[in-house]
């Protein structure tokens, strides 16, 4: 009998050229922003440059993770290497959180020790940065829809675009009114937005790495679907987890009703087909038991 492991292969090949272009423009922008921040005296500009450098780093990490994820399963990684992208997403999101807290610290210190800022220069360089941010966003947007790895890198870029807008606004207010305090204030707002975005995504990434159940699947609902098949008595010792961002797996003991053991193989195949159709489960492993010899003292879910 076939195993019924219906894997959905998602396109990991496309977009390498776009990723490389995004890395290049972000590295160039980082250099320009650091120089501009030093010359103008703007902390927000340097903060934006620091985050922009993390954009480039996040894109490099995401790029290599995509490369690793394409490797086929082998005797070292029997499930394949797709989780490399999940690890990359965790690294990038953790970096975002660190950057966010660092910017908060720097902004608070600047409130106590204000420094003059050249507003018009800040606006010019931040305007160029915003254009680069939008180009990078356009290069990675379509890939971010289906990959938490690319989405984490995209979030770095989106936060940077918001930062550029905030820096432009700060530069305008400093140039027009001399309000140097606006610079650290905008830095705080940038930091808050970065932390909010990273926190909203990192939970799902940790859930996958912790072998958590897919958010869209309730284990009891999945087991109930299997138990609707004629000849199935019950399921126990069930494990339902996310293999990666797109594929889930189920492992369980399936109890066949008394008198139906002759159809055990057909029942197993029907259960796998039903789980694939209803829940999109791509990897189902079932250990068959007869109701007259059922395991005793086992839990329905887990060990």
> Using 50, 70 and 90 to split pLDDT, how confident is the model at 165?
confident
pLDDT recorded at residue 271 = 97
Mean pLDDT for all residues in the chain = 83
Residue 95's H or E segment, with its range, is helix 84-112
d(CA 46, CA 38): 7
Per-residue pLDDT of 269-282, as tens digits, reads 999 999 999 999 98
Q: Is-contact 229 267, C-beta < 8 A? A: yes
pLDDT recorded at residue 298 = 83
- Is residue 51 scored above 70 in pLDDT? no
Mean pLDDT throughout 287-303? 85
- Is residue 123 scored above 90 in pLDDT? no
* Of the ranges 25-39, 163-177, 186-200, 214-228, the best mean pLDDT one: 214-228
What is the pTM assigned to this prediction?
A: 0.74
Mean pLDDT throughout 257-265? 92
Q: What is the dihedral of CA 137, 59, 91, 34, to 10 degrees?
A: -90
- Is residue 179 scored above 60 in pLDDT? yes
d(CA 62, CA 57): 9
Q: Is the dihedral of CA 22, 131, 147, 62 positive or negative?
A: positive
> Using 50, 70 and 90 to split pLDDT, how confident is the model at 164?
confident
- Is residue 6 scored above 60 in pLDDT? no
Q: Is beta strand 232-242 parallel, antiparallel or unpaired with respect to 283-290?
A: unpaired
Mean pLDDT throughout 105-133? 79
- Is residue 77 scored above 70 in pLDDT? yes
The tokens for 61 are: 């990490």
- Is residue 188 scored above 50 in pLDDT? yes
Helices (H) and strands (E) counted in the chain, each on its own, are 8, 3
Q: Which is more confident, 170 or 239? A: 239
Residue 38's H or E segment, with its range, is helix 16-40
> Worst-scoring range by mean pLDDT, 43-47, 197-201, 215-219, 286-290?
43-47
Mean pLDDT throughout 127-149? 79
Per-residue pLDDT of 8-27, as tens digits, reads 444 445 567 777 777 787 78
pLDDT recorded at residue 13 = 52
Mean pLDDT throughout 32-39? 79
d(CA 252, CA 237): 5
Residue written as tokens 């985050």? Answer: 51
pLDDT recorded at residue 202 = 92
> Using 50, 70 and 90 to split pLDDT, how confident is the model at 48?
low
**Secondary structure of the chain in HEC code, one letter for each residue:** CCCCCCCCCCCCCCCHHHHHHHHHHHHHHHHHHHHHHHHHCCHHHHHHHHHHHHHHHHHHHHHHHHHHHCCCCCCCCCCCCCCHHHHHHHHHHHHHHHHHHHHHHHHHHHHHCCCCCCHHHHHHHHHHHHHHHHHHHHHHHHHHCCCHHHHHHHHHHHHHHHHHHHHHHHHHHHHHHCCCCHHHHHHHHHHHHHHHHHHHHHHHHHHHHCCCCCCCCCHHHHHHHHHCCCCEEEEEEEEEEECCCCCEEEEEEEEECCCCHHHHHHHHHHHHHHHHHHHCCCEEEEEEEEHHHCCCCCCCECC
- Is residue 264 scored above 90 in pLDDT? yes
d(CA 103, CA 269): 56
* Of the ranges 36-40, 51-55, 84-88, the best mean pLDDT one: 84-88
Rg (CA), the chain: 26
Query: Of 43, 48, 188, whose CA–CA distance to 127 is shortest?
Result: 48
């Amino acid at each position: 009998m076939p195993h019924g492991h219906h894997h959905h292969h998602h396109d990991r090949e496309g977009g390498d050229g776009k990723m490389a272009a995004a890395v290049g423009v972000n590295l160039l922008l980082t250099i320009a922003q650091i120089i501009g921040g030093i010359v103008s005296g703007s902390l927000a500009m340097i903060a934006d440059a620091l985050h922009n450098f993390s954009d480039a780093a996040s894109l490099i990490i995401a790029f290599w993770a995509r490369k690793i994820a394409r490797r086929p399963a082998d005797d070292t990684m029997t499930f394949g290497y797709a989780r490399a992208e999940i690890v990359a997403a965790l690294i990038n999101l953790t970096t975002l959180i660190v950057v966010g807290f660092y910017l908060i610290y720097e902004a608070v210190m600047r409130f106590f020790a204000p420094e003059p800022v050249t507003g018009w220069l800040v606006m010019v360089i931040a305007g160029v940065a915003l254009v680069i941010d939008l180009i990078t966003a356009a290069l990675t947007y379509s890939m971010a829809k289906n990959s938490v790895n690319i989405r984490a890198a995209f979030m770095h870029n989106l936060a940077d675009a918001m930062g550029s807008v905030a820096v432009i606004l700060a530069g305008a207010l400093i140039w027009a009114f001399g309000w140097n305090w606006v610079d650290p204030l905008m830095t705080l707002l940038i930091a808050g937005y970065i932390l909010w975005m990273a926190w909203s995504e990192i939970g799902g990434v940790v859930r996958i790495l912790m072998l958590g159940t897919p958010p869209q699947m309730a284990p009891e609902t999945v087991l109930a679907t299997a138990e609707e098949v004629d000849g199935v008595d019950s399921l126990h010792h069930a494990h339902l987890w996310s293999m990666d961002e797109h594929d889930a797996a189920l492992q369980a003991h399936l109890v066949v009703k008394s008198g139906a053991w002759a159809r055990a193989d057909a029942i197993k195949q029907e259960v796998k087909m039903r789980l694939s159709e209803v829940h999109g489960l791509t990897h189902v492993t079932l250990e068959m038991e007869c109701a007259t010899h059922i395991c005793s003292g086992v839990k329905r879910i887990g060990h």
